[in-house]
Amino acid sequence: MSNGNGKSKALGVFALAMINVAAVLSLRNYPSMAVYGWSSIGWYLIGTISFLVPLTLAGAELATGWPQGGGVYAWVREAFGEKLGFIAVFCEWSNNLVWFPTVLAFIASTFFFAINPNLANNSTLMFVVMMIAFWGTTLISNMGESVSSRFGSFGVIAGSIIPAVLIIVLGLAYVLTGKPLALPPFTAGAAMPTINLSTLPFIATVVLLFAGMEMAGFHALEVRNPQKDFPKAMAISALIIFFLTVIGTLAIAIVVPVSSLNLAAGLMQAFQAFLEAFNLTWLLAPLAILVAIGGLATLASWLAGPALGLGVVADEGHMPPLFQRRNKVGAPTGVLVLQAVLGTAISLLYLFIPSISAAYWVLSALTVLLLCIVYLMVFASLIKLRYSQPNTPRAFKIPGGMAGIWIIGGLGLLSSGFTFLVSLVPPGDSGIPVLGYAVIMLIGTAILALPPLVFMALKKPSWKVEPTGARKEA
């Protein structure tokens, strides 16, 4: 990654746009929005305007102004100090702990489609396959960046891009050949979302879908003309993500009735319906394997990233030496093993919550709550740093002066704060008391967000890495 140290600025508009698309586009999230049929178009449009665009622009300015290691830690630390910076990056890491089981559920349920889809309803079997996938990808991540990146590149192409194109092609063919649809006829009114207490929690799903767009900002220093090319690339990538996501979501909605849609296995349910309609059921098993591999690649690509972010904090002496440990190939062994153990414990929810879809929903909502804390700090830092460090060079600056900063930052703060609040509301048909659900979610969020305060209270001088940068090897 270029950071102003002399590397060639080789990225143009198209290349940067494709980086964003690859980072954000995910088939795994489609079923969660497919339950709303045509109105998912309106939900996605709201998410794009209120969150996708502000987050992308904020990440671009912050990354080009403070490109040093640590990501959100560096940005929030510059604006509000080490303590809040630590909490921000820790939330980014701990959010992955509760995100892992939802990805693992997707991988396991998809894998079972290659054998027997009914097996996905067995919590014990789901947990066993989830653990094989989790610890297997942890092992791959421990082999170093070279091995894990090659596996990730293969998995993204084979298991994400190819299936995404295929489900869109099948969906179009299904409609054009006059097959019966599970959706009513399209009208402009049907595309408008119905906002009430039962639908508000699904705003969290939209945020989860677009989470990660701030990561694209790290590439802004590699762009030939950031001030002109970055906004164009953001517009192109936002449009691509929006339209592919809408089409992919509707492709599921037109063939899988809401009453039978499984949040973890909905993608494969749609593929099964399409392939049966065109007498291509022999493709289901190999396609399920490909999609499962894509899920494994996504998991592997995110295992080490947050761990490395914590490494910057640990090197500054705020965390125990465990978080500094690397093996001979530079993999963050200590954190990889620790997060695998913690992720395993959280995955046990699948054994104790009767409905797998319910567990999937609870973990997804908890993930969003932690992400909202990160994004609230990111948008607040964006505004604060324009005041406290106005002269810090930024290769990309949000246009419009302070008015532009307040519009983008304010919109991001409002959407993140609103999403945090609605994520405390249970799904309308869950039958769970609102107050009890909110208390449980807040307790879970606090447990996963506040350990930095404990680390900083207990830290010792011996935790700080020597100036040579030497690290402990596992």
- Percent of the chain past pLDDT 90, that is, above it, reads 19
Question: Does position 409 have pLDDT exceeding 90, yes or no?
Answer: yes
Distance CA(183)–CA(198), nearest Å, equals: 20
What confidence score (pLDDT) does residue 3 get?
44
Question: Does position 289 have pLDDT exceeding 60, yes or no?
Answer: yes
Cα–Cα distance list, 439 to 117, 260, 358, 360 (Å): 35, 30, 17, 19
**pLDDT tens for each residue of 17-57:** 776 676 677 777 788 788 888 888 888 888 888 898 898 88
What confidence score (pLDDT) does residue 76 get?
93
CA atoms 201, 203, 207, 210: torsion sign: positive
Distance CA(29)–CA(9), nearest Å, equals: 33
Cβ neighbours for 474, distance < 8 A, ≥ 6 positions apart: 325, 326, 327, 333, 334
CA atoms 452, 456, 461, 467: torsion sign: positive
What confidence score (pLDDT) does residue 40 get?
87
User: Which pTM does this prediction carry?
Assistant: 0.79
**pLDDT tens for each residue of 266-277:** 788 888 889 998
Distance CA(227)–CA(363), nearest Å, equals: 38
Specify whether the CB–CB gap between 183 and 253 falls below 8 A: yes
Domain 13-463 matching CATH 3.40.50.300: the answer reads no
**pLDDT tens for each residue of 116-147:** 878 877 888 888 999 999 999 999 888 876 67
Give 11 or 443, the one with higher predicted confidence: 443
If one counts every other C-beta atom within 10 angstroms of the C-beta of residue 348, the result is: 13
**pLDDT tens for each residue of 298-352:** 787 777 667 767 777 887 888 888 887 878 877 778 888 888 998 898 888 666 6
Average of pLDDT values for 217-243?
Answer: 72
**pLDDT tens for each residue of 340-352:** 998 898 888 666 6
